[in-house]
Structure 1
């Protein structure tokens, strides 16, 4: 044998000719534009189908919301009240206090307070309803000179533009009748709604954590369960703190308004303070409504224009301080909403549910913002409605 190593094997020549490789590349290059056009066409069709399905689902949801108003309004109201009162029950459970007993105490206290407030305010409210037409007729002669001047200016304007002056025929004053039969006829429906809300709140307080635990049990993995629990707990704490803080701010505003009206000598200050508290759950619109109501009450009670408009002007200043300084300082930036988003949301839910929808619109929008800020892929919506 030879001591020299054997030569390395030479590589075999490629079976594919260079011309064939070039022709293959050219063929692939020629096929790409057509395939890309077909892909874009398919993606456009899929996008159109997805948009159409989204619109149909949105219309179906709106129809369901309107159709199920009598069921959904008590459910949403009970959910908000349950979230607001849940920290109290949780704090009682931490000190080894039975959860059901804490829920019973909270509900009894809440119901006693509501019944006492209704019993205290129902009589002055009915008196105002009955006496308002008479007071307006008595006040009409006081503003007659002002209306005559406005009518004279209107006639002069019509003459300048060459139009005919139209006179409105006097209309008979419609009487306002509010009898005990109206209360008796509407009492069953009101009592059924109140009882439904009270039972739902009680069950939310007692079995809320158990429902959450059962929902977590069906999660596929432990990491998903832990992530779900952390998100739900954080949302629950933030929504509860927002609702409690908003309720405390509104109650404080009502007490300050009642004290201001008492100092000015306006009758039934607690009634108008309660109106201010409830109306302040509707931003902007609630303050404007309460200011208008106080202006009418002042005009009906006082003889001169200056003292008559003083309560409304003072309330406008109080709400300006509350809305621009107190509420932003206490709630921070996380719960602040865009005024455009608030007005659009009020229009939508006021159109769908009426007055209950207007009262629940802003709490719902705030909860939607807090929830979407925690969900992946929905942060854009929370950013859009933020201020």
Structure 2
């Protein structure tokens, strides 16, 4: 048997086994890894926010860097705390009228002329279960409760990351050793930092714009709890494609559920919010992103499904940054660059000196 001829097959099998093992460990170790990853995200945001605060000047006085980091920590955790408290409290208020909404939706469904043709245990039963608004609210509340429960551990991780980051350069130099290799690693890290910072900055702007305009539209139309849908639309827009679809359908569904004759209000909400999502998500956001985040939409959807399976809703929020990191790292090595090309949208990736 020719061992060399079987080498590619052996390498492929070893890679597939390693990927499968990694996915298994991520699923099993969710309680261990997810708080750490969220802490790294917060640590990254704190550094970005601190660098912005450093640029501010009080007259001719420069703000000391430690105070900038302290201010960034306080601002970030205050914002996260306010959002969690607001959404949790609003979900409780929404839960008090959920049964009325469910009754109105079922009444509307039964009033349609073709519903009698569906068997009781078929599509009609599936749709009735899907209209269980109370279950949706409970699932959302459990998600926020789970994140809040990990808040102490996440805060501890963030503290240690901030404490250790001063020694990062020395550790990297000692770990890599070779100056040329260190230069390449630093180039990868800087590229990852720049692209993720750009993605988060633009996504924050477009999501905030979408959430604010959606709130104004829903308030003018008289939809109940417009501030809740504005915040949820802001958050859901961080989930690629699926988040925007849910952020369009759910307010329209609630508009329909407000009363037994809310069909026209529901269609108006669906058209206006849908047009807003398409305009910002398909026109404004791509122009702001440019070609720097060159990711295939199909790969993004697959990545969304993968991380949604691994870490649920939290994985859906993190899937694009993970994909950005993966593509950048793979593009910097000749053997893995073909994979990066497959992950890209147009087949063009940065080609650093090998």
What TM-score comes out, normalization by structure 2 length?
A: 0.81
- Aligned partner (choices 260, 264, 272) of residue 229 of structure 2: 272
Q: Report the CA distance between 1:351 and its aligned residue.
A: 1.5
**Closer/same/farther in 2, CA of residues 224 and 48 from structure 1, 3 Å limit:** closer
Counterpart in 2 of 1:149?
Answer: 114
1:209-247 Cα distance to aligned partner (Å, 9 max, x none): 522431123332333333332332232222222222222
Q: Does 1:132 align with 2:98?
A: yes
Q: Which of the numbers 54, 72, 76 marks the counterpart of 1:106?
A: 72
Are positions 1:240 and 2:197 aligned together?
yes
Larger Rg: 1
Structure 1: 5+ residue stretches without partners: 1-37, 155-165
1:108 to 1:139, Cα distance in 2 relative to 1, 3 A: same
Conservation of the 8 A alpha-carbon contact between 2:26 and 2:310: yes
Paired residues of 2:211 and 2:234 also in contact (CA < 8 A): yes
Uncovered stretches (5+) of structure 2, i.e. residues with no partner: 346-354
The 1:61–1:177 alpha-carbon spacing in structure 2 relative to 1, beyond 3 Å, is closer
Q: Tell me the CA shift for residue 288 of structure 1.
A: 1.3
CA drift at 1:69: 0.8
Partner of 1:262: 219
Q: Partner of 1:373 in structure 2?
A: 331
Q: 35, 42, 56: which one pairs with 1:74?
A: 35
Q: 1:244 to 1:42 in 2, by over 3 A?
A: same
Indicate the residue corresponding to 2:317 in structure 1: 359
Aligned residues: 329
Equivalent position of 1:194 in the other structure: 151
Cα RMSD between the aligned structures?
A: 3.2
How far apart are residue 341 of structure 1 and its match? 0.4
Query: CA 1:225 to 1:385, structure 2 compared with 1: closer, same or farther past 3 Å?
Result: closer
Report the CA distance shift for 1:52/1:385 in structure 2 as closer, same or farther (over 3 A): closer
Change (3 A) 1:248 1:341: same
Tell me the equivalent position of 2:3. 42
1:140: Cα distance to partner? 3.5
Deviation (angstroms), 1:266 = 1.5
Change (3 A) 1:219 1:135: closer
Aligned partners of 2:135 and 2:206: how far apart in 1? 36
Contact 1:291 1:316 in 2 (8 A): yes
User: CA 1:150/1:311 → structure 2, altered by over 3 Å: closer, same or farther?
Assistant: same
Q: How high is the TM-score relative to the length of structure 1?
A: 0.75
Alignment partners' CA distance in 1, 2:198 and 2:46: 10
Contact preservation (8 Å) 2:46, 2:73: no
